[in-house]
Amino acid sequence: MMLSLIIGIVVLIGALSFLRWYGNAKTEEVKKTLRWTGIGFGLLIVAFLALTGRLGVALAFFTGLMAWGWRVFNMIQMGQQMSGMFRGFSRKMSGASAQQSSEVRSAFFRMTLDHDTGHLDGEVIQGVFVGRKLAALGFDELMKLSVEIRSDAESVALLESFLDRAHPDWRARSHQSNSEHTASAPVPGAMTESEALLVLGLAKGAVRDEVKAAYRRLMTQLHPDRGGSDYLAAKINAAKDALLKE
């Protein structure tokens, strides 16, 4: 009884040590260690059975042990390969997720749109509020900013797009007439490929189907009929045309 208990404790400690080692080991190290451990363990059992007069049982056991060991080695190798495949797939998916945003630049702003959440924000890149995020500015600061950038129609259109989302009642609160605040959205000029890719949130080398899918996704969020702005919709159209031109 005591001998069985001791053997059980030794086996348990050995199993726990093996699992801890296996979690950090490389494939070749696992195979090499298990190979020699299995051979040693098998020889001990065969020797014990032979000494007790059960040589036939020992030979049968050894044959079965070899077949079982080969199967275990193959399973371990396959498991390590599958683990590597899933880790690689996870990294690719993470990289793809990071690409799901659009960027539009003007003289005063670098605007970004998150495709998943529809969140629109921008960073001021020159002027009194340089380095500040639009979302971090108070309403009065945004009104001061609108005065500062009024010489650049593209920046005005981008700021109004942000205000329409962040402060839907901004026109009523601004103490200025609609004619003073509502600038006509400038028609985007010829757009370069790199700018078009930023607008649609695509990587260089995107194929036609990817361009069309990005265009449809953005238009569902920024089309004027859905609460977007004429200017951003025009930018998205120009980006699609630049990338799909023959």
Q: Hey, what amino acid is at 144?
A: K
pLDDT band for position 98 (cuts 50, 70, 90): very low
pLDDT band for position 93 (cuts 50, 70, 90): very low
187-200 as b/e, with b when 16 or more CB fall inside 10 Å? ebeebeeebbbbbb
d(CA 240, CA 137): 32
Backbone φ and ψ of 69, nearest 5°: -65, -40
d(CA 18, CA 99): 41
Alpha-carbon Rg for the chain, nearest whole angstrom, is 34
Q: Hey, what amino acid is at 212?
A: K
Highest-confidence segment of 30-34, 139-143, 182-186: 139-143
Q: Across all residues in the chain, what is the average pLDDT? A: 71
Q: How many domains does the chain have?
A: 2
- Among 62, 79, 98, which residue terminates a domain? 98
Same domain, 53 and 150: no
Highest-confidence segment of 14-28, 61-75, 103-117: 103-117
0.85 cut: is pTM over it? no
- Among 57, 82, 98, which residue terminates a domain? 98
Question: Closest Cα partner for 102 from 186, 185, 145, 161?
Answer: 161
Using the predicted structure, report yes or no on whether residue 80 has a pLDDT greater than 70.
Answer: no
Same domain, 121 and 94: no
3-state DSSP helix/strand/coil % of the chain, to nearest 5: 70, 5, 25
Same domain, 63 and 173: no
- Among 78, 98, 118, which residue terminates a domain? 98
pLDDT band for position 199 (cuts 50, 70, 90): confident
Using the predicted structure, report yes or no on whether residue 120 has a pLDDT greater than 60.
Answer: yes
